[in-house]
Amino acid sequence: MSRPPRRSIRGRRARSAVMVGLTVVASILATLPLLLILGLLIQKGASSLSWDFFTAMPKPVGETGGGMANAILGTVMLIAIASSIGLPVGIGAGLYLAEHRGTKFAFLVRFLSDVLNGLPSIVVGIFAWQFLVRPVKHFSALAGGIALAAMMIPLVTRTTEEMIRLVPASLREAALALGYPRWRTSLTIVLRTALPGIVTGALVAVARIAGETAPLLFTAFGNQFWSTSVNEPISALPIQIFTYAISPYDEWHSLAWAGALVLLALVLVISLVARFATRSRFRGGHD
């Protein structure tokens, strides 16, 4: 066998370097939007951030100052309502899909949750308005929470299913061979082993719905006042940002920027928690 000419090796190396370079550029471009948004929000919004922003109520037009305390509370309440419905349903459905993966029903559920996942959020909002707002003739935090739950469920369902499928069959067999009934095996080994991944999926879903605006426009609607009732319209950070951003007042514009910064920070924190806090103590090591 003759050795290949040196030039072709050099050419191959050059092509390889170009390809690596292109993927590096693509990686930078992929993260650039987030960095730019973060920079812009800090530049425009940081100056309006103060203690008041978190504790004070919005002021009427013409008065200076004021904050978004009601919107922050509203977002927390909406997330709580959405999670208390979306997480149990999503995790339960995911467990079913993973444990009965071959059945026709599982195929149908999987397909439909993918469709629901791809549904524009404004459609979810209109749907929730039709069924939860129109019959009772008033907007409510509950309707907003349910609309958000509908967005959350398919996400949680699919990540739960994927995480449970990653649990090796050998662990299941080990528990069964020790005399564990099937349901206890599912609970103590399968679900427990998949738990960090499921928690991560749940937090990603929470981060996703925290910033949703469209489903809330016809359901939670927004509220200029302090409200803790699930039966009343309630404010939320995205709604408040929207209201302020389309207003003609400069002061409200900077509050909207600050609100956007807080929302982004919230999502960032949730994502960071999802990444680090749920790391299993017993992962890693050999294999």
Partner 1 sequence: MSGTITGALSADRYSFWYGEMQALFDVTLDIAPRAITALIGPSGCGKSTFLRSINRMHDLTPGVRTAGTLRLDGDDVLDRGVDVVQLRQRIGMVFQRWNPFPKSIYDNVAYGPRLNRKPSGDQLDDIVEQALRRAALWDEVKDRLRTSALGLSGGQQQRLCIARALANEPEVLLLDEPCSALDPIATQKVEELLWELKKDLTVLIVTHNLQQAARLSDQTAFFYLGRLVEHGATDQLFTAPREERTESYITGRFG
Question: What letter represents residue 93's amino acid?
Answer: A
Alpha helices in the chain (DSSP H): 6-45, 51-55, 69-99, 104-118, 121-128, 141-165, 169-177, 182-185, 192-210, 214-217, 237-245, 250-276
183 binds partner 1, rule: CB under 8 A: no
- Picking from 63, 162, 61, 34, the residue whose alpha carbon sits closest to that of residue 110 is 162
Residue 85 structure tokens: 């419905």
Interacting residue with partner 1 among 16, 17, 173, 229 (CB under 8 A): 173
| Beta carbons of 213 and 239 less than 8 angstroms apart | yes
Stretch of 11-19, 132-140, 171-179, 233-241 contacting partner 1, by CB under 8 A: 171-179
Residue with Cβ nearer partner 1 (127 or 180): 180
| Beta carbons of 186 and 254 less than 8 angstroms apart | no
Q: How far is the CB of 120 from partner 1 (least distance, A)?
A: 39
| Beta carbons of 285 and 207 less than 8 angstroms apart | no
286 binds partner 1, rule: CB under 8 A: yes
Give the x/- contact pattern for partner 1 in 191-230, rule: CB under 8 A.
--x-------------------------------------
Interacting residue with partner 1 among 57, 73, 176, 199 (CB under 8 A): 176
Residue with Cβ nearer partner 1 (105 or 111): 105
Interacting residue with partner 1 among 38, 171, 265, 273 (CB under 8 A): 171
Which residues between 131 and 170 bind partner 1 (CB under 8 A)?
168, 170
**What residue ranges bind partner 1 (CB under 8 A)?**
168, 170-171, 173-182, 184, 189, 193, 280-287
